[in-house]
Amino acid sequence: FPSTFLSNNNQSSSAPVQSVSTPSVLASASASLPSVSNSIVTSGISELKSTSGSRKARVLYDYDAANSSELSLLADEVITVYSIPGMDSDWLMGERGNQKGKVPITYLELLN
């Protein structure tokens, strides 16, 4: 009877150790995963909004420039767009021929 009790005691003492260590390993792994995936998502969005070069964009709707720093747009035209560091993320610089100005990003469909 005492050997059965010792055997039982060993099993019960080793089981909590395993169950305690396993959740802590899983918790640390799951804690690190969101930060990794968030940085990937954030960098993807940053790349989209702050492209190093220029891209083509199709204009979705007509847009009348509110001032001389903006560019008026006509629906379905294709313009060249790029971002400028420090510029509001809702806007891009647009170029059509020799005309240049800010354009709202919501009026554009970025092309490859």
**pLDDT higher for 36 or 81?**
81
Task: Give the tens place of pLDDT for each residue, 6-20.
Answer: 544 444 444 444 444
pLDDT at residue 58 tops 70: yes
pLDDT for residue 57 is more than 90:
yes
How many residues in the chain?
A: 112
Mean pLDDT of 63-83: 97
* Residue 60 maps to a domain: yes
78-94: pLDDT as tens digits:
999 999 999 999 999 99
Asked if the structure places residue 32 within a domain, the reply is no
Report the distance separating Cα 90 and Cα 98, nearest Å: 23
pTM of the model: 0.54
Residue 2 counted as domain residue: no
Query: What CATH number corresponds to the domain at position 64?
Result: 2.30.30.40
pLDDT for 2 equals 52
DSSP assignment, residue 76? T
Amino acid, single-letter form, for residue 27: A
> Does any domain span residue 42?
no
Q: Give the pLDDT confidence score for residue 3 in this predicted structure.
A: 52
SS3 100: strand
